[in-house]
Structure 1
Amino acid sequence: MKRPRNRISAALVAGLAGALLLGAADPAAAGEAASAGGTTVRTDAGWVKGAETGGQRLFQGIPYAAPPVGELRWRSPRAVAPWQGVRDATAPGSRCAQTADDWGLPASEAEDCLYLNVTAPARSGGNRLRPVLVWLHGGGLTRGAGSDYDARRLAGRGDVVVVTVNYRLGMLGFFGHPGLENSGAFGIEDQQAALRWVRRNAAAFGGDPRNVTLAGESAGSHSVCAQLTSPSAAGLFHRAITQSTPCGAGSFDGTPLRPVLDLPLWLPKVSYEGYGQYLAALLGCADPGTAAACLRGKPVADLLTQDPLPLPGYGNAVLPEDPAKVLQEGRFHRVPVLTGITRDEGTLFAPLISQGPMTAEGYEAAVNTRFGAAAPEVLARYPVGIHDGPPFQAVAAIMSDLDWAWPARDTDLLLARHVPTYSYEFTDRTAPPLFPLPHGIRPLAAHGSELSFLFGVGWESAPLTPAQRRLGDTMIDYWSRFAATGDPNRPGLPAWKRVRPADGTPYVQELSPGRGGIKPFDRASAHNLAFWDDLASRGTGAGRGAKAG
């Protein structure tokens, strides 16, 4: 008899919390709706019915904001209209408008796309509300969807409630124009609307709205960095996980070095509005007085023919200041951070710098153009046959070290000066790649290759080996423990030290399968950081130690 009594108690506790958060007039009704093990739940906009699948409760396609269509195109997200009855929540909502790509992600022309998915453990948590992990998908801020990530394993093993989110992308999420109020970062605003939904509704699904971790990979990590600096995100999350996009500590400022993939993370108002005026003219909406109305009248298909500028803009309501400056000055939200990269981030991106295959002569010429007088040293350090691959493999090795590992070190030290920071590197060079790579490039531990260790992914991916599956289990244990406490350590897991800014060389936890695969990682040696430090210091009058410390 004790077990049913515990279940009833959990439902009542969750129901009372739901009544307070949702403003329900009838706490008893809210208690019935928010049953810790039920698949019918009352949100603040109405009832939803999900399904139990894979041992977890899955609710898909829940609207968190009004459809941003018609006059709401390129406006801040608005409240969703309440619905009557019980809404089916067994299928994901539409993907936000995006083109198809060479890697098989589907296209979409949907503007009505502001939906999220909730995965919650099926078993009762007693009176305890579980930590919530909100996941922001990658895809260059132009592609992807929350439903690409099956969170059942993460939620079940980690005993957390996982929320995956759609947000506006490309031309519809990051377009700027003088005729649009607060333009430049509508997708970032969508993410905040989803976080506010979590704050209001998490308890109904057994999640703790006072313990929310915001996590993402690639463009999702870029978005987490934006939220760390956004004043309007204050209090919406309590921990942060950034995977494969360091928030940036100005590593290249004041040095003769530039990254190979030399793109900014953030755009000032003059840039995104100027480019928006250029695109408006291409679309036949050049008149400043009528441009906004003209653009809102264009079919989505016409918008998708244009090349977007998929970078968050600042100088608007959601990002009033340059996030790089906010981060550098330590004025970001004070939450613990778990951050890391993969060993070979550059293998996914190296082909983007050339339309076709690269010859050895082409590689040498490219290095000479990029590095000038230092080119012979770079060529000696990164020979054309590195990793037994084509010339693109050498480009990828440079990018992995210079574009990712070098700024990752500075970001670790910057964050650690203000908040508890835990750094990792995923080094499994046999991991299934995110997508097939062209030109015979060996993927190694490529950008995004850690995702299938945490999620079931929505694209074709080779199954994990037993050793990789065990590594994935450990990663889930770390991630969920961090979500629960702000510290990934717990008994039974290999110890993971915090980054200490006084160390100069941050502690990095290696994540690799097999016995002894989880251990301290010498990122500095693996990524030739002293070599890049030396090149960076030439002509600047200061070594890297003074800058990073």
Structure 2
Amino acid sequence: MRLIPAAAILLSMIMPTTPAVADQGSAALVRTDKGVVKGEILRDHRAFRGIPYAEPPVGELRWKPPRPAKPWAGVRDATAYGGQCAQPAGYGSQASYGEDCLYLNVSTPPRGRKLPVMVWVHGGNNTTGDSASYDLSKLAVQGDVVVVSVNYRLGVLGWLAHPGLEAGERYQAGNYGLLDQQAALRWVRRNITAFGGDPGNVTLFGESAGSADICAQLASPAAAGLFHKAIAQSYSCAYPTRTQSAAEASAVSFAQTVGCTGDAVSCLRALPVKTLVEAFKEPNPYAVAGGDGVLPAQPYEAFAGGRFNRMPVMHGNTLDEMRLFVSDPITAAEYEAYVRRTYGPNADAVLARYPAANYADPRIALATLLTDFGTPLATCGHQDALGLFARAGVPAYGYQFADRTAPPLIDIPGYEEGAAHAAELPYLFPRLFGGELNAEQARLSDAMVGYWTSFARNGRPAAQAPRWPLFRSSGDVLSLAPGPDGIQLADTAARSNCAFWKSLTTSE
């Protein structure tokens, strides 16, 4: 049995198709606080790509908080994407080793002033991914919003938490990716008016690791006032992130692995990027909860205690999240052995609730179990997070994407991927995995774009029918699937046996 490493998420994406360029005019020129950029006037929107929001984090700036980009003279071409951040090879993508990567992209409707702004944080386990993979045009045009996508430092360069990197700094090492995202949000606050956006109405949204980062930004005092609404897709805000002690121990071990002892920081800064990227094996390089102003506490503790950036939140997952990660075929005996090894004295109860015989494939039995409980993507964890937000008194809306015919991120022969992790993304970003949606799926996509952008506009996902209620109990989750009755309220906690799992954890 093998689980696909989470670091491979979102690496098989196909670059979006660019519409034909129309006549250029003055609307293609925008003055930012660092200089003038020239984008493209497309058939139904404007696109600006590869705008630097920070200095390249190279040399002595490696593992430092991002510094503002330097001004430029003349007009800067903004028709090509900036370089992607250094990352290992993965499904459909080659390794890259560039450190000059702190760029963002802006798509806008043809015209408009003080439009809502949506800032996208891509997924990829904080080790892979690239903002250039996402076509922002549908959200911008259909939703009448300004959409921004950002690159941020990944893997070893964005999340290494070596204690030597903290000397003389007022931040917790290991959160450079979070600091990059905050720098991009500050760029938005200073500049988005010139693109037709409202800096006082910014929604931060992201998926997978991007969702985990948004949970951290909600709990980060350093992010206060930088955004006003949050959408977290497919990573529970109730799931613990890295502790300072564990992250630092891992970083010290990594330094020793690459031969950096003594003055480890100078040694690490002198190593080639390729050496660092290929040696970095930390499985979940997420935010570090420490004692500083970036992330002083675990996000779920901040939410439970009411000490977070309070705002409307939309939070959800997919119906079959973990089917993406269960790859190789397994037997029923191997499935049972896994359950017994993992759940010990509770294994019989778990096997009775999830018997392999009830599923077409033992992999689906395992994926269903893991989708329901015990992983960062699990439905019960998302229920817990929605409960935290609701009890804290902020408007919270829960969803579950449930189209089991959605185009898969990875097509596994002989296996039904269902509504797996990342399956909702092509409904927001056209042709993300290649190909087109069918007519019913296209209608679902239209509805989802309406919900997402109306939430960005006024904090209520209410542009479509049926009505999406505030989360107050487990039956208030909106299930999103194609067809005449595909969008409807569902008790996802009951479907995922959350009461059963809670009974096991409270009895231990």
Settle same-fold status: TM greater than 0.5.
yes
Q: Say which one has the larger Rg.
A: 1
Alignment counterpart, residue 449 of structure 1, candidates 423, 426, 431: 423
Partner of 1:180: helix, strand, or coil?
helix
* Residues 134/55 of structure 1: CA separation in 2 closer, same or farther (3 Å cut): same
The yes-or-no answer on 1:98 pairing with 2:87 is yes
User: Deviation of residue 358 (structure 1)?
Assistant: 1.9
- 1:492-511 Cα deviation digits (max 9, x unpaired): 532111012xx4x3510111
Report matched runs for 1:149-164 at 5 Å: 149-164=134-149
Q: Write the letter of the residue equivalent to 2:325.
A: F
Q: Write the letter of the residue equivalent to 2:40.
A: A
User: Deviation of residue 104 (structure 1)?
Assistant: 1.0
Is the contact made by 1:241 and 1:337 (CA closer than 8 Å) also made in structure 2? yes
The yes-or-no answer on 1:370 pairing with 2:358 is no
Is the contact made by 1:155 and 1:162 (CA closer than 8 Å) also made in structure 2? yes
Partner of 1:305: helix, strand, or coil?
helix
Partner of 1:162: helix, strand, or coil?
strand
The yes-or-no answer on 1:49 pairing with 2:24 is no
User: Deviation of residue 41 (structure 1)?
Assistant: 0.5
Report matched runs for 1:392-403 at 5 Å: 392-402=363-373, 403=375
Q: Name the structure 1 match of 2:155.
A: 170
The yes-or-no answer on 1:230 pairing with 2:220 is yes
Alignment counterpart, residue 220 of structure 1, candidates 192, 206, 210: 210
- Give the unaligned 5+ runs of structure 1: 1-34, 251-264, 540-549
Partner of 1:179: helix, strand, or coil?
helix
| RMSD, aligned CA | 1.7
Task: Give, in whole Å, the separation in 2 of the partners of 1:153 and 1:45.
Answer: 28
Q: Name the structure 2 match of 1:140.
A: 125
Is the contact made by 1:413 and 1:506 (CA closer than 8 Å) also made in structure 2? no
Task: Give, in whole Å, the separation in 1 of the partners of 2:357 and 2:421.
Answer: 21
* Residues 37/535 of structure 1: CA separation in 2 closer, same or farther (3 Å cut): farther
User: Deviation of residue 398 (structure 1)?
Assistant: 0.2
The yes-or-no answer on 1:74 pairing with 2:63 is yes
Q: Name the structure 1 match of 2:251.
A: 276
Partner of 1:176: helix, strand, or coil?
coil
Report matched runs for 1:457-476 at 5 Å: 457-458=431-432, 460-476=433-449
Is the contact made by 1:350 and 1:399 (CA closer than 8 Å) also made in structure 2? no
The yes-or-no answer on 1:508 pairing with 2:477 is yes
User: Deviation of residue 282 (structure 1)?
Assistant: 1.4
Pairs aligned (count)? 473
Q: Name the structure 2 match of 1:3.
A: none
Partner of 1:61: helix, strand, or coil?
strand
- 1:295-328 Cα deviation digits (max 9, x unpaired): 1110000001213431211224421233232122
The yes-or-no answer on 1:432 pairing with 2:420 is no
Task: Give, in whole Å, the separation in 1 of the partners of 2:179 and 2:481.
Answer: 36
- 1:243-266 Cα deviation digits (max 9, x unpaired): 011100x6xxxxxxxxxxxxxx42
Q: Write the letter of the residue equivalent to 1:347.
A: R
Task: Give, in whole Å, the separation in 1 of the partners of 2:214 and 2:244.
Answer: 20
The yes-or-no answer on 1:117 pairing with 2:115 is no
User: Deviation of residue 171 (structure 1)?
Assistant: 0.2
Task: Give, in whole Å, the separation in 1 of the partners of 2:280 and 2:412.
Answer: 23
Task: Give, in whole Å, the separation in 2 of the partners of 1:225 and 1:327.
Answer: 10
Partner of 2:389: helix, strand, or coil?
helix
* Residues 441/376 of structure 1: CA separation in 2 closer, same or farther (3 Å cut): farther
Partner of 1:135: helix, strand, or coil?
strand
User: Deviation of residue 37 (structure 1)?
Assistant: 7.6
* Residues 107/385 of structure 1: CA separation in 2 closer, same or farther (3 Å cut): farther
Partner of 2:178: helix, strand, or coil?
helix
Q: Write the letter of the residue equivalent to 2:28.
A: T
User: Deviation of residue 36 (structure 1)?
Assistant: 11
* Residues 51/232 of structure 1: CA separation in 2 closer, same or farther (3 Å cut): same
- 1:361-388 Cα deviation digits (max 9, x unpaired): 1111111111223222322322224442
Task: Give, in whole Å, the separation in 1 of the partners of 2:355 and 2:25.
Answer: 58
Of the structure 1 ranges 183-192 and 276-285, higher mean CA displacement relative to structure 2 is found in: 276-285
Q: Write the letter of the residue equivalent to 1:454.
A: L
Task: Give, in whole Å, the separation in 2 of the partners of 1:385 and 1:165.
Answer: 45
Alignment counterpart, residue 350 of structure 1, candidates 300, 317, 326: 326
Q: Name the structure 2 match of 1:331.
A: 307
Partner of 1:150: helix, strand, or coil?
coil
* Residues 441/385 of structure 1: CA separation in 2 closer, same or farther (3 Å cut): farther
Partner of 2:242: helix, strand, or coil?
coil
Is the contact made by 1:43 and 1:201 (CA closer than 8 Å) also made in structure 2? yes
Alignment counterpart, residue 186 of structure 1, candidates 158, 176, 191: 176
Partner of 1:437: helix, strand, or coil?
coil
Partner of 1:488: helix, strand, or coil?
coil
Q: Write the letter of the residue equivalent to 1:434.
A: L
Alignment counterpart, residue 243 of structure 1, candidates 200, 225, 233: 233
* Residues 308/82 of structure 1: CA separation in 2 closer, same or farther (3 Å cut): farther
Task: Give, in whole Å, the separation in 2 of the partners of 1:218 and 1:240.
Answer: 14
Task: Give, in whole Å, the separation in 2 of the partners of 1:524 and 1:282.
Answer: 44
Task: Give, in whole Å, the separation in 2 of the partners of 1:343 and 1:300.
Answer: 38
Percent identical pairs in the alignment equals: 49
User: Deviation of residue 529 (structure 1)?
Assistant: 2.1
The yes-or-no answer on 1:421 pairing with 2:396 is yes
Q: Name the structure 2 match of 1:311.
A: 286
- Give the unaligned 5+ runs of structure 2: 1-23
User: Deviation of residue 232 (structure 1)?
Assistant: 0.6
TM-score by length of 2: 0.90
The yes-or-no answer on 1:485 pairing with 2:435 is no
Q: Write the letter of the residue equivalent to 2:505.
A: A
Partner of 2:289: helix, strand, or coil?
coil
Task: Give, in whole Å, the separation in 2 of the partners of 1:416 and 1:37.
Answer: 46
The yes-or-no answer on 1:294 pairing with 2:267 is yes
Report matched runs for 1:58-73 at 5 Å: 58-73=47-62
Report matched runs for 1:192-207 at 5 Å: 192-207=182-197
* Residues 137/54 of structure 1: CA separation in 2 closer, same or farther (3 Å cut): farther
